[in-house]
Structure 1
């Protein structure tokens, strides 16, 4: 009986170890356009137009709003461990420019060098001026409403409240 319980204990420990190590595996993800290099290389400047690019590559990921309305095809492969933020492993940016008639004028390719790493300063936005605490923000305006020179009160004495008439 003790051999059976030792084997089940060992099997349970191995199962727990397998589940625990599965949480540390590297996750891979793909976002955006699925790039087919043969199709991308078949688009030629001066030959293709918007309709032929749409038929060959499909709908673009983004379309530019200014100038000629360039089309962008974006694809990104990233990896991360467990609950960490994903980090880009590879990126392809394909920009297709058109002229006024809709003919392809240029095809530009970009890669991982265009990924910007933005790190926030901290949990609060730095501002110029004095540091104020919670209670100063909460109670800081008490007494300032209607004060002389604040522009909101009748502290200058020019209006006596009689409907515009001056009282003696």
Structure 2
């Protein structure tokens, strides 16, 4: 085989690899949610804001601090080569506190078919105050899908 034929084969192989890798989706994660083991350390009715901060930290810029609760939010996005990014998963951990700053509820929410679903709940009270806020937080998922569909 001539040297030119070897170079052509090499270039074809490199181009084929580049084309195949361009079609591979890229997954990005935004935000932070505490690990389940860390959440197990939080005792409902005993721990306070300061002990929760020591165990898992305060929510950062991607989470939310509300008067009565801390929300940790993590989203997963799938990026295809020629399509708009698609949010494929969102999880929220909500830790609510009573007026004395003691942990009242520890809840973990996710999305299933665009609906908010409680994945785990440790509650001292049957009244869930933060659900309407979570519906607003998860509610923009449909908007993202509508925007994505407009570009496809």
Match of 1:117 in 2: 142
- Contact 1:45 / 1:107 at 8 angstroms: preserved in 2? yes
For residues 7 and 15 of structure 2, what CA distance do their matches in structure 1 show? 12
Counterpart contact for 2:33–2:93, Cα < 8 Å? no
After superposition, give the CA deviation of every residue in 1:6-63 in whole Å (9 maximum; x if it has no partner).
1111111111111122111110111101531100121121011100111111121211
> Which structure has the greater CA radius of gyration?
1
SS of corresponding position for 1:71 = strand
Q: Return the structure number with greater relative CO, CA threshold 8 A, min gap 6.
A: 2
The answer to which structure has the higher helix fraction is 2
1:58 maps onto 2:60 in alignment: no
**1:121-160 alignment to 2 at 5 Å?**
none
SS of 1:48's partner is: coil
Q: Name the SS of the counterpart of 2:23 in structure 1.
A: coil
Which portions of structure 1, spanning 4 or more consecutive aligned residues, are displaced by more than 6 angstroms?
A: none
CA shift, 1:87, in A, is 2.0
Question: How many residues align structurally?
Answer: 118
Task: Give the structure with the larger strand fraction.
Answer: 2
Unaligned stretches of 5+ in structure 1? Answer: 123-168
Using the TM superposition, name which of 82-91 and 37-46 deviates more: 82-91
